[in-house]
Amino acid sequence: MKALRFDTRDTKPKLRALLILTAAAAAVAGALILTGAKEHSAALGLTAAGYALGAAGILLWAFREQIRYNPYSYNTIFYMGFALFSLFIVITSVILAVNILRYPGDYSGNEIVHTLLNSAKSYAYFTFPFLFVFSSALCVSNIALLRHEGKRPVNYLGILLSILLLGGAVFLFFFDYEVSGSEREVMLHDLLTNFLAAIYLYIECMLVGTVIAGAVAARYEPDPDKDFVIILGCGLKKDGRPTPLLAGRIDRALAFGKAQEEKTGKKPVYVASGGQGPNEIMAESTSIRNYLIEKGVPPERVVEEDRSRDTRENMLFSKDKITAIRPDARIAFSTTNYHVFRSGLLARRVKMRAQGIGAKTKWYFWPNAAVREFAGLLANHRGKQALILGGMIAFYLALTLYSYR
């Protein structure tokens, strides 16, 4: 992932072009509808396809530029997730326009409205094979996790999400399969169906965006110019030694430091970050420090931060330690691969620019942990999500009412 560099842009990307494109597409579509929807239904389909293609291009550009500005952002997830959905709209709209041009007598003129109205449900059906494979793998890994890590409630998240993903798609299909009753009853049914489909679409897009953004962040190798590498604590054995998960984070930091020294001659200082938990005989920072010294790191190149209780405090208190030594320091942090994205996000929240290094973990642990990260990311951005999800629901409900005009 060296072709795409993090933190090389000083301003976040703006989506003014998307607003302009939306206004232009709405104006063209409005003019076509006013001048005769049936005669211009193919043009409406091509307009929708052109708009979706432009939107996908803008969102993919914004994804790249957002990574260059701040790779650990809710915006990164949103841009990628909805860029893929926009590409799906391109495909369906082009197919519709071609069919209208080939068989104009078979279409009434309202097909593009119904295509857009059904886009959320159609996307769920179209991506069902992917969801089935993903959910099956998630269940298998979750069962392995339960066998190795115990039957804690948090370890059931993967199975729960799998059921919701597959159950939601199946429910939408059968709930919308055959409807009867008065026009009012059918309309209310369609309003409920499209309301649920909008929610499902949002969750699916955000999940896909989270997986892609998290993979990009975990695979990225920072530039070898770092002054400090923060090692995030994550629990100790009963004797105070690092658990395999924590040892993986320390070893990953050491490997990065060694590679940097070989390339540039620059030796980073390691910040051992983590307080003492209720069932731990020492602070996690002390255990990390001892491990580093055993591996040959001089004590003067290790800084302890022993107050933190969670990832946010890891970042906040480590930042305080670092800025007291060197305010303009270049910083990296080492954590487990699935945890890189959210850790980077929390670093930015405490106004610290730091690039993540991802340590590998056991195959059965990653999928369920990724689900926990996904849930955590959504929980931390409730206001922005409510705005976007509310807009999507309003769009599909308004389009449903318009189809019954």
What tens digit of pLDDT does each residue of 209-256 get? 988 998 899 999 999 999 999 999 988 999 999 999 999 999 999 999
CB 297 within 8 A of CB 254: yes
**pLDDT tens readout for residues 110-141:** 788 888 999 999 999 999 998 888 888 888 87
Which residues, in sequence order, are CB contacts of 179 under 8 Å at separation 6+? 186, 189, 190
Q: Over 70: is that where the pLDDT of 334 sits?
A: yes
Percent of the chain having pLDDT more than 70? 96
Q: Residue 319, CB half-sphere, CA atoms under 13 Å: how many? A: 16
d(C-alpha 333, C-alpha 105), whole Å: 63
Q: What is the pTM of this model?
A: 0.87
For CA atoms 158, 161, 165, 166, the dihedral sign is positive
For residue 105, give the DSSP letter.
G
d(C-alpha 334, C-alpha 323), whole Å: 18
Provide the angle, in degrees to the nearest 10, between the axes of the packed helices 128-149 and 366-379: 110
Q: Residue 320 has what pLDDT?
A: 96
Which residues, in sequence order, are CB contacts of 147 under 8 Å at separation 6+? none
Q: How confident is the model at residue 1 (pLDDT cuts 50, 70, 90)?
A: very low
